[in-house]
Structure 1
Amino acid sequence: MKVLTKITDTISKVAEWIIMAMILGLVGLIVTELCRRNFLNQSWLPTTELCGILFLWMAFIGIIPLYNKSGLIRLDFLVTRLHGVAAEIVWYITDLVGLGLGVVMIVAFNAQYRFVASRTYATMPNVHYTIQYIPMAIAGAFIALKSLEMLVGHIAAKKGGKAA
Structure 2
Amino acid sequence: MKIYRALLNTIKRIATIVLLVCILGIVAIMLSELVVRNVLNISFRWSTELNGFLFMWMSFMGLIILVSEDRLINLDMVYSRVSPGVQTGLWMLIRTAMLFLGVVMVVSYVDMYPILATSKFSTMQWLKKAWHYLPSAIAGGYFALEAIYELLCKISSGEKTTEGRSES
Q: In terms of mean alpha carbon deviation, does 137-146 or 122-131 score higher? A: 122-131
Q: Aligned residues, how many?
A: 161
Verify the 8 A CA contact 1:79 1:91 in the aligned structure 2.
no
Take 1:43 and 1:86, find their aligned partners in 2: how far apart are those partners? Answer: 56
Take 2:138 and 2:75, find their aligned partners in 1: how far apart are those partners? Answer: 24
Tell me what 1:44 maps to. Answer: 44
* 1:100 to 2:96 alignment: no
Partner SS for 1:9: helix
Take 2:36 and 2:14, find their aligned partners in 1: how far apart are those partners? Answer: 33
Cα offset, 1:78, TM superposition: 4.1
Give ranges in structure 2 of 5+ residues lacking alignment. none
Tell me what 1:63 maps to. Answer: 63
Under a length normalisation based on structure 2, what TM-score does the superposition of the two structures give? 0.89
Tell me what 1:157 maps to. Answer: 157
Verify the 8 A CA contact 1:76 1:91 in the aligned structure 2.
no
Deviating runs (4+, > 6 A) in structure 1? none
Partner SS for 2:42: coil
Verify the 8 A CA contact 1:75 1:90 in the aligned structure 2.
no
Give ranges in structure 1 of 5+ residues lacking alignment. none
Matching residue's letter, 1:142: Y
State the Cα RMSD in Å: 1.7
Partner SS for 2:108: helix
Identity %: 34
Cα offset, 1:137, TM superposition: 0.4
Verify the 8 A CA contact 1:75 1:94 in the aligned structure 2.
no
Query: Which digits, 9 at most, give the CA deviation of each residue in 1:110-162, with x for residues without a partner?
Result: 12111111111111111111111000000000000000000000001129xxx
